[in-house]
Amino acid sequence: MFRLTGRENWDYLYQPAAKQTTQPVETRGRLPERFFGSYSVERFWSLVGNNLPQKRGQTVLEIGCAPGNILHDFARRFNCIPYGVDFSEAGVERTRENFQSWGYGPENVMHADVFDPEFQTSVESKFDIVVSRGFVEHFTDLRAVIEAHAVALRTGGLLVVSIPNYRGLNHWIGRPTLRDLYPLHNLAIMDLQTFRAGCSSPNLDLLWCRYFGGFDFGIFDTGGQTLRLKTYRRLQAGLNFLFRMVPPPQSRWTSPQLLCIARKLAPDIKRG
């Protein structure tokens, strides 16, 4: 397996000068957000919620967790206990600061390489949910990365993995700002059949593995590595409203992401 990024690609995102860009905005439930907020984000949480057991106190581990916003949403929406791991020291420090301000235990944020055998042993079969968003596409061997996720899941636990779709029409729209960053992404797995094959494993039951969401300019803004797409925000708000009225087709050409949701099987139950 080969990494397409290194620590230097992530550390600078979490330096003090960039701190104001990583705090979540508490807008869920406000009228403008309900109608004009990201349709794709809403769709993501709906799909997760539909497959998540409705019980309090489930543990969720995010791989590549900095700055912690996804974990914050899991905790708020589903009453989960958040844990995170990241190999960027600056990212871990930022996430711990955020956990402290949100009322979570900062000790739940771990500084480690998820492929380190010692780390994998320490988290084996420990969590109810393991999630990553925008992580697995930075490696050449998707199957190996998925297995590193699955090892941390308890039997019956839920795996949630999403990646951006920089193929199809999105590839060409993103070229002005993402051309230099495309080599840091495994574009080959942004094909549904390839993604599904890489997420398949004898110890995982695939519940959902498809493109999802409507066209979204947000995937072309990677948090400081590209131009901020402020001029498109009003246009995106209009699209979000339209998608709520007329749901868009889930398409390899325009859907912004691919999502896999799977459940870990008991050791004596294996997929062929």
Q: Which residue has the tokens 């106190």?
A: 57
Task: Quote the CA–CA distance of 89 and 104 in Å, as a whole number.
Answer: 19
Residue 96 pairs in a beta bridge with none
Q: What is the CA radius of gyration of the chain?
A: 18
Bridge partner list, 205: 263
Residue 211 token pair: 């493109």
Residue of 271, 131, 148, 141 whose CA lies nearest to 198: 141
Mean pLDDT of the chain: 88
pLDDT-above-90 percentage for the chain: 71
In the predicted structure, residue 25 carries a pLDDT above the cut 60: no
- The whole-number average pLDDT for the span 134-142 is 95
Q: Which residues pair with 63 in a beta bridge?
A: 85
The CA–CA distances, whole Å, from 209 to 54, 140, 170, 262 equal 21, 19, 19, 8
For the chain, domain boundaries: 8-17+42-264
The CATH number of 8-17+42-264 is 3.40.50.150
Report the pLDDT averaged over residues 262-271. 83
What does the block give as tokens for 175? 């070229």
Q: What is the pLDDT of residue 27?
A: 46
Report the pLDDT value the prediction gives residue 8, as an integer from 0 to 100. Answer: 66
Question: For the chain, where are the alpha helices, taking DSSP H only?
Answer: 8-11, 31-36, 39-51, 69-78, 89-102, 117-123, 142-150, 169-178, 192-199, 233-245
Euclidean distance between CA atoms 35 and 42, whole angstroms = 11
**Residue 227 pLDDT:** 46
149 falls in which pLDDT band (50, 70, 90)? very high
- Read off the pTM: 0.90
Q: Which residues pair with 259 in a beta bridge?
A: 162, 210
What's the confidence (pLDDT) of residue 267? 83
Per residue in 114-130, pLDDT (tens digit) is 999 999 999 999 999 99
Phi/psi-derived region of residue 103, left when phi > 0, alpha when psi is between -120 and 50, beta in every other case: left
Q: In the 8-state DSSP scheme, what is residue 139?
A: B
Over range 159-164, report the average pLDDT: 97
Mean pLDDT of 30-55: 87
Please name every residue paired with 127 in a beta bridge, in sequence order, or none if there are none.
Answer: 153
CA 226-106-91 angle, 5° bins: 20
Which is more confident, 2 or 154? 154
Decide which of 62 and 10 is more confident. 62
Closest CA to 164 of 135, 134, 141: 134
